[in-house]
Amino acid sequence: MSIIYNEASKMFSLYAKDTLYALAVVDEGYLSHVYYGKTVPDSDLTYLLRLDEGPFYPSKNRRETASFMDCQPFEYPCYGTGDYRESCLMVMDKDGMSACDLRYVSHKIYKGKPKLEGMPATFAEENEAETLEIIMLDKHLGMEAVLVYTVFEELNAITRSVRITNKGSDPFKLTRVLSMCVDFETDKFDMITLNGSWARERALERARLHCGKQSVDSARGESSHQSNPFFALVSPNADEDMGEAYGFNFVYSGNFFAQAEVTQFERTRAVMGINPLDFAWLLESGETFTAPEVVMVYSANGIGDMSRTFHDLYRKHLIRGEYKNKRRPVLINNWEATYFDFDTDKLISIAKEASKLGIEMLVMDDGWFGHRSSDDSSLGDWFVNENKLKGGLKYLVDEVNKLGMKFGIWFEPEMISPDSDLYRAHPDWAIQIPGRVSTQSRAQFVLDYSRKEVRDHVYGMLRKILDNANIEYIKWDMNRQLTEVGSTVLPKDRQRELWHRYVLGVYDLQERLTTDYPHILLENCSGGGARFDPAMLYYSPQIWTSDDTDAVERLKIQYGTSICYPPSAMGAHVSDCPNHTVGRVTPFETRGYVAMVGTFGYELDVTRIPQEDRDAIPGQIEMFNKFNPLVRNGDQYRIGNVNEDNTWDAWMFVAKDKSEAMLTVVQVLARPNYKSRNVKLKGLDPKAMYRNEETGVVLSGEALMNCGMNFQFWGDFRGKIVHLVRV
């Protein structure tokens, strides 16, 4: 059994593989956090709560409950009753009061994992997971909170979410509803976050926790380029292979808040959820609000092991659809090849050349609709620009299909250009504050996706395109963050709900799209990598990782992204040089090595690249085909870290049964007067013998991991892939 309730101690033990998460109902119905870490056999750990220590026991010390409130480790802390640390729940009731106070009422334990209404979440079969629901009540407000915990039997993963219902007769507003809180016994942690900017997303940062609050967030309406909805707390000695690591990832694509707070008692409170900034949600009597899911992963064996758990969880229990376990077609995207300057003939010429080289799909990017010839117009006018696509879309798609290639298309369905027929007909459909001049960003506004008629209309246009031609892939882009967040239809006491209602609208449309067109491969994208979050993985098995396609920058971006997301979900393309973002020139071969551990494709004008590069493409595709099963199903081990030492990087993918492995080594900058670099491998079976498929040399796993392999490169940005097979 994965979840056990001990009647005597009132402690719940949640076992997920080698993890134990324990909580207990204590004095006066408070719900306290007891322990999170490596499994221990004992069924009563409530001594950790120190309930017998002096002034803190509420029922025995009526005159001093404040001390208890401010130091007790709580499962779901409420605002305004003496716990001055970060709280998870805060209200505005009919009298303008903000305090709340939840106490235990009952619980239930059941097999499997429930769905989150209208929201993405991890899923599991009945025999793969067990769920605990704890029902709490604020008697004063008549507010019920159901804390939902699911443990995965075979993974060190636990998920959490919360449902709040107004069981009283008066309405109240929720002004903050976080999804997760863990009160750790210690403050001896480093915090890892994934931060950056456009074209340099998810750069790993690591810093020692110190007294006070350390947070990352997004208030941009999407998960953002700047910070990812992820953080980890790791023991100060933790590295890839040893030490404790707790990872938290929010299954959400809107405003988030994630924080670690070191308290006066040298403990750490970790919280995560929807960003409370500018958030409010009105709950009328009988209404329920569901907070999105947080995934918590524990590792006693370092950061690498934590990442591999996230990868396994997401590959098996989050990503859905026909492509879940399938190799993705090798695509060529025309964005960096042509930008807006293309027509049918140009696209067909690219497809002709690409098909000869073994590329399997042409993706037509931005610029095919309305009268769009720059990013100044036409978003929302999802009909074909016949001046560019002479003969129409079906003609183009058929021609591409005749070449034996699939066809994919770009949309930005959440947007509306002021210069569009859609805007001229429905200016009120844009998110705006009536009477206030809207901030300009890429000359476009965001559609009010809280409105069903808006979503229906956009979807109707998309359907016409999709039903008109044989489209087998969609790139769903999102290039503008939200400002002046107001809706022309929501009542004033629900305006602050728009941030979240907008995200729910996006989910609604992606759910409809993936249900109605299950054969279409969906790739999410947001100005590059601003929506690389687990919620998007629920709808699309791959996400465009970054607009930066430079091989060296990608080393850093893909390294950081792999901290919690599987490489097989990372959109990665070989592009032309000098690179369009950084101007760097790298060997075509190395660009291939880096893109190969993602979804793999090309983003260049294949009719114009050097012949030598063109000639290399069939070989690259062959290599991708050979290694892709390892990338999709194997375990990733990070070896080098280009963030720490920008002279080299290395990583491995090892088959689950350890029968084969691929190692990629990239020398970033050459070092003069330096012997060959020794790289120690990871994840192999120490007792097995492995043959290097290129050289024929056979070495034991033990030797490869302890003594390493030597690599000598001549020049910057050089790389190599080694294939090892167990003999």
* Residues forming the site for ligand DGJ (CB under 6 A): 335, 365-366, 410, 477, 479, 525, 527-528, 544, 547
Give the dihedral of Cα atoms 110, 113, 118, 121; nearest 10 deg: 150
Closest to ligand DGJ by CB, 181 vs 525, is 525
CA 701 to chain centre: 33
DSSP state of 430: B
| Order of strands, sheet of 3-6, starting from the edge strand that comes earlier in the sequence | 3-6, 11-16, 19-25, 31-38
Q: What is the CA radius of gyration of the chain?
A: 27
CB atoms inside a 10 Å sphere around CB 623 = 18
Closest to ligand DGJ by CB, 293 vs 477, is 477
- Beta carbon of residue 160, minimum distance to ligand DGJ (angstroms, whole number): 32
- Beta carbon of residue 410, minimum distance to ligand DGJ (angstroms, whole number): 6
| Order of strands, sheet of 473-476, starting from the edge strand that comes earlier in the sequence | 570-571, 542-544, 521-524, 473-476, 406-411, 361-364, 331-333, 601-603, 574-575
Dist CA 120 CA 689 (whole Å)? 43
- Beta carbon of residue 527, minimum distance to ligand DGJ (angstroms, whole number): 5
Catalytic entry in 477, 548, 613, 649: 477
Amino acid making up residue 348: I
- Beta carbon of residue 78, minimum distance to ligand DGJ (angstroms, whole number): 41
Closest to ligand DGJ by CB, 200 vs 720, is 200
Look up residue 152 and give its two tokens.
Answer: 């995965």
Closest to ligand DGJ by CB, 263 vs 575, is 575
- Beta carbon of residue 662, minimum distance to ligand DGJ (angstroms, whole number): 27
Dist CA 649 CA 681 (whole Å)? 13
30: left (phi over 0), alpha (psi -120 to 50) or beta: beta
Closest to ligand DGJ by CB, 479 vs 487, is 479
123: left (phi over 0), alpha (psi -120 to 50) or beta: beta
CB atoms inside a 10 Å sphere around CB 415 = 22
- Beta carbon of residue 546, minimum distance to ligand DGJ (angstroms, whole number): 8
Look up residue 89 and give its two tokens.
Answer: 């729940």
> Quick one: CA dihedral 156, 664, 552, 359, positive or negative?
negative
- Beta carbon of residue 442, minimum distance to ligand DGJ (angstroms, whole number): 8
Using the structure block, give the residue that is written with the tokens 């524990």.
298
State yes or no: is 95 an active-site residue. no
Omega cis (within 30) before 578: yes
SS3 for 312-341, per residue? HHHHHHCCCCCCCCCCCCCEEECHHHHCCC
Q: What is the per-residue DSSP string for 601-648?
A: EEES-TTTS-HHHHHHHHHHHHHHHHHHHHHHHSEEEE---TTT-TTE
Exposure b/e, 515-530, CB count within 10 A at least 16 = b: eebeebbbbbbbbbbb
**CA-closest candidate to residue 722, choices 687, 695, 689:** 695
Helices and strands, number each (H, E), in the chain:
13, 38
CA 530 to chain centre: 10
Exposure b/e, 464-489, CB count within 10 A at least 16 = b: ebbeebebbbbbbbbbbbbbebbbee
- Beta carbon of residue 333, minimum distance to ligand DGJ (angstroms, whole number): 7
Dist CA 48 CA 9 (whole Å)? 12
> Quick one: CA dihedral 350, 353, 357, 359, positive or negative?
positive
Closest to ligand DGJ by CB, 477 vs 553, is 477
Closest to ligand DGJ by CB, 161 vs 223, is 223
Closest to ligand DGJ by CB, 368 vs 690, is 368
- Beta carbon of residue 296, minimum distance to ligand DGJ (angstroms, whole number): 30
Q: What is the per-residue DSSP string for 68-101?
A: HHHHS-BSS-BTTSS--S--SEEEE-TTS-----
Coarse DSSP helix, strand, coil percentages of the chain, rounded to the nearest 5 percent: 25, 30, 45
Task: Give residue number: closest CB to ligand DGJ.
Answer: 366
Closest to ligand DGJ by CB, 234 vs 393, is 393
- Beta carbon of residue 603, minimum distance to ligand DGJ (angstroms, whole number): 8
Closest to ligand DGJ by CB, 292 vs 528, is 528
Angle of the 452-468 helix axis to the 498-516 helix axis, nearest 10? 30
Contact 9, 43 (CB under 8 A): yes
DSSP state of 447: B
Dist CA 541 CA 598 (whole Å)? 12
- Beta carbon of residue 202, minimum distance to ligand DGJ (angstroms, whole number): 15
Closest to ligand DGJ by CB, 138 vs 477, is 477
Closest to ligand DGJ by CB, 190 vs 547, is 547
Contact 662, 624 (CB under 8 A): no
Task: Name, in order, each residue with C-beta under 8 angstroms of 614's C-beta and a sequence gap of 6 or more.
Answer: 353, 357, 606
State yes or no: is 547 an active-site residue. yes
- Beta carbon of residue 339, minimum distance to ligand DGJ (angstroms, whole number): 8
Dist CA 47 CA 61 (whole Å)? 19
Catalytic entry in 547, 613, 635, 649: 547
Closest to ligand DGJ by CB, 73 vs 527, is 527
- Beta carbon of residue 348, minimum distance to ligand DGJ (angstroms, whole number): 20
Catalytically active residues, by annotation: 477, 547
